[in-house]
Amino acid sequence: MKKHDKLSKLVLSALFLALAYVMPFLTGQIPEFGAMLCPLHIPVLLCGFICGWKWGLLIGFIAPLLRSSILGMPPMFPTAICMAFELAAYGAICGLMHKLLPSKKTYIYCSLLTSMIVGRIIWGVAMFICLGIKNTPFTFSAFIAGAFTNAILGIVLQILLVPVLVMALEKISSRR
């Protein structure tokens, strides 16, 4: 990889981290739906697609921990810790699949959906472990509620927005 490409990915990753830090402030202005939009997820997914799996994994892991340590939101244990593993999986899986699969629109959706499903499963496992440490049960219904029911708006937004942004950003970068 050329030095220019490494620098570009570093700068873009920093931009995606900054977006992950700021976006919850914007969505938080929507009282009933702000958290349901999953504002940290979109920049991490974009980072994985645009910068690659390594950067997606790193930014995904750092973003919730950074927000929690600076702002106290989300709460560090168990929320931010479990989100760190979930978002790291998002960034890594979508980046890896996007690199390995053909560059076609349908494969962007395939990479996105796979990373969203695996990331949510990893979140569930992390919650099960973290809450087990506190001797608090984490039931299957709590998993379904946290991973899908309470996040349905964010899931829909990610499916609608992320592939369009990935295609637009790739089109722009191919013109350089």
Extract the tokens encoding 27: 């969505």
What tokens were used for 100? 């390995």
**Is residue 97 domain-resident?**
yes
CB atoms within 10 A of CB 36: 17
Total of domains in the chain: 1
- pLDDT tens over the chain, length 176 residues: 678 899 999 999 999 999 999 999 988 778 777 678 899 999 999 999 999 999 999 999 999 999 999 999 999 999 999 999 999 999 999 999 999 999 899 999 999 999 999 999 999 999 999 999 999 999 999 999 999 999 999 999 999 999 999 999 999 888 76
- 21 in any annotated domain: no
Handedness of CA 35, 17, 13, 123 (dihedral sign): negative
Is residue 23 in some structural domain?
A: no
Domain-located, residue 10: no
The answer to the question of residue 88 being in a domain is: yes
**Residues 43 and 16: beta-carbon distance below 8 Å:** yes
CATH number at residue 167: 1.10.1760
**Rounded distance between C-alpha atoms, residue 164 and residue 62, angstroms:** 25
Q: Is 118 exposed, middle or buried (0-12, 13-18, 19+ CB in 10 A)?
A: middle
Q: What's the pLDDT at 35?
A: 74
Residue 55 belongs to a domain: yes
Residue 94 belongs to some domain of the structure:
yes
Specify if 49 maps to a domain. yes
Domain range for 97: 40-174
**Which residue type sits at 144?**
I
